Amino acid sequence: MFIIVVIFSVAIIAIGAYGISTPSGVLSLARRFASSSGIALGFSLRVVFATALWLSADASATPIAFRVLSILTLIGAIALPVMGVNRLTAFITWWSDLPSWSIRIWLGFALCFGLFTLGSSVLGSPAG
């Protein structure tokens, strides 16, 4: 599970960093997920990440944080199909109307989240 958390963490870091430098690029990426297949993919990826966080929690440097983040990630996964395509599209539209500095702050949180999960995984691993 360690490697799955690392892969997801690096992807989240990359998306956060890309979004900070190019908010419109991340908005374009988000719009691609505003479909039934996009919601299914987003749901599946979040469930995999939530499971990986939960199962790797004991080996991480912050097991309680990993368990909490796992639960929050699972809630986020469940929220996607509950929202549906129309509400997800409306949310993305609302998000795209925010000032670019605000979008950069959101993506800064994503970057920090990815750095946290990566660092906690590496520091908690036997090789770390």
Per-residue confidence (pLDDT) for residue 125, from 0 to 100: 65
Per-residue confidence (pLDDT) for residue 14, from 0 to 100: 97
Per-residue confidence (pLDDT) for residue 6, from 0 to 100: 96
> For the whole prediction, is pTM greater than 0.85?
yes
In whole angstroms, what is the distance from residue 59 CA to residue 123 CA?
Answer: 9
Token reading at 38: 């996009």
Render pLDDT for 49-76 as a digit per residue (tens, 0 to 9).
999 999 999 999 999 999 999 999 999 9
Q: How many CB atoms lie within 10 A of CB 87?
A: 13
Render pLDDT for 67-104 as a digit per residue (tens, 0 to 9).
999 999 999 999 999 999 999 999 999 999 999 999 99
Contacts of residue 62, defined as CB under 8 A and 6 or more positions apart, other chains included, come to 116, 120, 124
